[in-house]
Structures are given as structure tokens and as C-alpha cells.
Amino acid sequence: MAKIGITDNVFAFVPITTVTILGSHVQDRPNFMALGWLTRCNFKPPMIAISVNKSNQSCIGILESGEFSVNVPTTDMVSITDYTGLVSAKKTDKSNLFETFYGQLKRAPLIKECPINVECRVAEKVELATNFLFVGEVVGVHAEESVLTEGRPDPEKVNPFVLSMPDNRFWSLGECVGRAWHEGKSIKRNIR
């Protein structure tokens, strides 16, 4: 099984992530931007890492306020989510695109139309060549009751979408193909 090197590293296929809408305050107004570069990054307390290009107004806003939100849109919101990534707050006021509300943090605007909203306070920031990597401590999570199963968000009810690169396509979730920390148990037994 031959492997070949891919010269254009930027477009390498790693990794797929949930598409979210980043909320921040820019010049005291709510601003929103499609965000696909994020991951959980600390177990306790819960933290998530997001990466934002330095040229984005969202980046400047988060550096100033130390607060941001991550909102999870459904597949019905593909176009409006994508739109937030196509226009800059420099030229277009995006503060009224969504119905917003606030939790504990007053500069982390939350989107009513998104079934899951997470408010974060910046705990660490790392300046990279083109991007800022922000580590946010999760200070509040808000969810529509309709997307919960036994009190916890259920991906099948949330109906999120993910981004793959370099092809730049959005995908819904497919079939459940197993359970984490479970599927490997049969191998564990056999190897023992």
C-alpha cells in the first residue's frame, strides 16, 4: 500500500470539526463569524481551544474583551452560518443577524437560533504566525430542552454539521459506528 507525500501541507486532510458560530463583541456590538477550528482542550475545568485568523475583527474583539461564545448551528442554518464567514465586520454590521441573549458573560453574545451555546472566558492565548489560539474556560452552557436526552445534549437531536478541508465541504453526521471507550474492549480481552 504505497503512500505519497502531499506537498501542499496547508490543505492536508486533518481534521474534521464541528462548524460553529463564534460570538464576540467588536466595538461594543455583537459580532459573529463561522468557526470551524476548535476542540476541547482541558478536561477539568472544561476548556476549549479556538483558532482565529489575526486579520479577523473577532480576533481583535476577543483580545480586547477576553470573552467569546461558541454557538452550534443546525444543518438548517448552513447558509446563514457560511454567510457570517463571508463578510467582515469591518464592512458589514452582523449584530442583528440573530436574536441574541447573554449568560454570565456580558461580552459573549449567544445565538437563540442555535440549540447549543457555550460562553467562555479566555484563560490562555498563544500568538502564532497567522492566527491566535485562544483557550477558553467554559463558564456556561445553554441548550434547548428539545435537544437533550437525559439532560445532556444528544447529537442526533442537535443535528450539527462538520467541515472537511481541503475540499471545504459541510457534512451532516452519518451512522453511529461505535461507542468510545467500549469498542476496543473485545481486543483488550483477546490480547490479555
Residues 73, 111: Cα–Cα separation, whole Å: 9
Binding mask 151-180 for a second copy (x = CB under 8 A): xxxxx--x-xxxxxxxxxxxxxxxxxxxxx
The secondary element (H helix, E strand) that includes residue 191 is helix 185-191
**Taking CB under 8 A as the rule, does residue 28 contact a second copy?**
no
Q: Cβ of residue 139: shortest distance to a second copy, in angstroms?
A: 8
Shorter beta-carbon distance to a second copy: residue 66 or 178: 178
Query: Which residue from 28, 90, 106, 185 is in contact with a second copy, where contact means CB under 8 A?
Result: 185
Residues 115, 99: Cα–Cα separation, whole Å: 12
Residues 27, 17: Cα–Cα separation, whole Å: 29
Per CB under 8 A, contacts with a second copy among 34-63 are 34, 36-49, 51, 53
**23-31, 59-67, 136-144 -> range binding a second copy (CB under 8 A):** 136-144
**9-17, 22-30, 56-64 -> range binding a second copy (CB under 8 A):** 9-17
Cβ contacts of 53 within 8 Å, gap of 6 or more: 59, 130, 131
Q: Cβ of residue 12: shortest distance to a second copy, in angstroms?
A: 4
Q: Which residue in this structure is represented by grid cell 483580545?
A: 63
Binding mask 96-135 for a second copy (x = CB under 8 A): -----x-x--------x---xxx----xx-x-xxxx-x-x
Q: 51 pairs with which residues across the strands?
A: 133
Per CB under 8 A, contacts with a second copy among 72-91 are 72, 75, 78-87
Cβ of 127: how many Cβ atoms within 10 Å?
Answer: 10
Q: Cβ of residue 17: shortest distance to a second copy, in angstroms?
A: 5
Cβ contacts of 93 within 8 Å, gap of 6 or more: 29
Q: Cβ of residue 77: shortest distance to a second copy, in angstroms?
A: 10
3-state secondary structure at position 149:
strand
